[in-house]
Amino acid sequence: MRYLYIVLIVLLTVIVLSFKIQNFDSVTLTLWTSTITLPASVLVIGVYILGMLTGGFLISLVRSAFRGAAHRPT
């Protein structure tokens, strides 16, 4: 099983590096008055990581709300 995990990690790393190499064009991100120019791959990976963090927070918030509602005395 350990070798399967190593193969999956190597495969995922190759896919991410391939994505990064192929998407090195610059994009400009504008939010209100600030602008930033960065490679498209960095933007996509950053948005993905931000989505993982906020999604994990949202799931934990919903779970704690359900647990609180289930344990409330009637």
Residue 40's domain comprises 2-70
| Angstrom distance (rounded) from CA 62 to CA 74 | 21
Q: What is the pLDDT of residues 13-72, one digit of tens each?
A: 888 788 778 877 888 988 899 999 988 888 888 888 888 888 888 888 888 877 766 666
Count the domains in the chain.
1
Rounded distance, CA 40 to CA 27, Å? 6
Inter-residue contact 37 to 24 (CB < 8 Å): no
- Report whether 43 contacts 29 (CB < 8 A): yes
- pTM metric for this prediction: 0.55
